Amino acid sequence: MRYLLAIDQGTTGTTAIVLDEELNTQASVNREFAQLYPQPGWVEHDPNAIWTSVVEAMAGALRVSEINPNDIAGIGITNQRETTFVWDRESGEPIHNAIVWQCRRTTERCDALRAAGHEAFIKEKTGLVLDPYFSGTKLGWILDHTSTRSEAVAGKLAFGTCDTYLLWRLTAGAVHATDVSNASRTMLMDLQTLSWDPELLALLNIPRALLPEIRGNAEVYGHTKGVPGLPDGIPIAGMAGDQQAALFGQVCFRPGEAKCTFGTGSFLLMNTGSQVVRSENGLLTTVGWRLGDQTTYVLEGSTFIAGAVVQWLRDGLEFFSSAHEIEALAEGVPDSGGVVLVPSLTGLGAPHWNPSARGVIWGLTRGTTRGHIARAALEGIAHQNTDLLEAMATDLGKELASLKVDGGAAANDLLMQIQADLLGCSLVRPAMLQTTALGAALLAGLGVGLFADTDAVLATWKMDRRFEARGDAGSRAAMRALWHEGLKRV
């Protein structure tokens, strides 16, 4: 038996998962690391702490699985996207803490670029909105605040997102490369050419010598060397940003197929095939993956609040003591009783883009109970996703073919049924909800030849449950109309 080792390097911790050739999970171990907040709105990570979490998670997974590390056929990496690392090529030491995707320190820089009229150019080149979220302005900030720009120009420093940094560490500095999905989140790569763009580099004042080679998502990038607990020579053969990895793990290989990851917020990606779809609804156009010479593009959007509204009902209003209790509470009523809860507790994301929006509970009567509000909260999560998926379908010019779901809140059967009802189509939950790590493992399996092609990958996917839409078009329209009335009040 040969095994795949997936490294899921997330914002608050690293999970290492060992899977066998039939993709059965043999072990899953998580190690957290510290979040650093130097100033309000600033978020950093210590790169060495991240590496330690990776080493410890891998060691733990190997110990639990009791496999021989020599039987690992390949390693796949998936990662928090946009987080920005810069390190010295000779020593390997970071020159600054990693600036995390959540960090807003480059807001003024983005505002200046917008005021200078560069927003449309950046969106056309990259498919991204001009925002501190992405890596380009973070990288510029590090160079401007560490007196290292001359070293960067001279090629003495290396930049990368987390995939690149981990690949460097796993190969003892032999490989400086990224994959197209992560490169597409830097605001430095041309979507059409899949290469670093000289005009973008000049605009953001980024030296070309810093940047890694851009490669596909399923190929052998390099081999382990000097990694604690692992033998030398294991191929690192799959890499993708976390949301793209989840889409791949959900085997959404056809245009129009989409996945929704239900976490603190919701991340929705829709496969658009080889077509670069320019959104008219404030969505992001980005790269899903490249296999060989075939590139798959996606539309992406996110809602800021999904599972977080359940946490708010638990902690802020003390409706229940455990988040999973919301399902039974909401099932105690047949519907929301006309109550609408718009969970815009931190503004509204795509497709509305209203940062000043505030949460609303509307339609209360003397007969309203905690159950009605709980059900309205679940409906609010599903309505936001429906808004987003309708926008995606409009941009793509075709109806939603399927919606696959993952993430912690996807275990809530009632929420999944409400989502299916609002979309008017079936919703499918996989047997393995850790689809981000699964996607990394599948890409590595392709990279080392355990799977011949995506058809072979497709055959490995296992369903847990299908939720069929209930009700008719009229009832769906009535629920959506009530939601839109609530949106007017945020």
Answer positive or negative: Cα dihedral of 31, 37, 43, 48.
Answer: negative
Average pLDDT, stretch 169-176? 96
355 vs 425, higher pLDDT? 425
**C-beta of residue 66 within 8 angstroms of C-beta of residue 155:** no
pLDDT above 70 coverage of the chain, percent: 99
For 416, the token pair is 């999944």
Positions of E strands within 294-338: 294-303
At residue 393 the predicted structure's pLDDT band, cuts being 50, 70 and 90, is confident
pLDDT of the residue at 446: 95
d(CA 106, CA 155): 24
DSSP single-letter state for residue 290:
E
Confidence of residue 355 (pLDDT cuts 50, 70, 90): low
Indicate the residue type of 140.
G
pLDDT digits (tens, 9 = 90+) for 140-159: 999 999 877 888 888 899 99
Confidence (pLDDT) at 236? 98
**From the candidate CATH numbers 3.30.1060.10, 1.10.10.10, 3.30.420.40, 3.50.50.60, the one assigned to the domain spanning 252-431+461-490:** 3.30.420.40
pLDDT in tens, 187-200: 999 999 999 999 99
The answer on pLDDT for 207 being more than 90 is: yes
Residue 401: the pLDDT is: 66
The whole model's pTM is what?
0.87
CA end-to-end span of the chain, whole Å?
56
**Which of 211-225, 308-322, 448-462 has the largest mean confidence?**
211-225
Token code pair at residue 231: 């033998």
Indicate whether 367 pLDDT > 80.
yes
CA–CA separation, 27 and 21 (whole Å): 14
- Per-residue pLDDT reduced to its tens digit, 53-104: 999 999 999 999 999 999 999 999 999 898 999 999 999 999 999 998 878 8
Picking from 188, 273, 289, the residue whose alpha carbon sits closest to that of residue 239 is: 289
- Check residue 433 and report its DSSP letter: S
User: pLDDT tens digits, residue range 210-228?
Assistant: 999 999 999 999 999 999 9
- In the CATH scheme, what architecture does the domain 3-233 have? 2-Layer Sandwich (3.30)
Do the two domains 3-233 and 252-431+461-490 of this chain adopt the same fold?
A: yes
Give the CA distances from residue 467 to residues 248, 381, 405, 415, 460, in Å, rounded to whole numbers and listed in that order: 21, 17, 11, 10, 21
Q: What are phi and psi of 215, to 5 degrees?
A: -130, 175
Q: Where are the domains of the chain?
A: 3-233, 252-431+461-490
What is the average per-residue pLDDT within 236-244?
95
Average pLDDT value over all residues in the chain = 91
Least confident of 209-213, 336-340, 409-413: 409-413
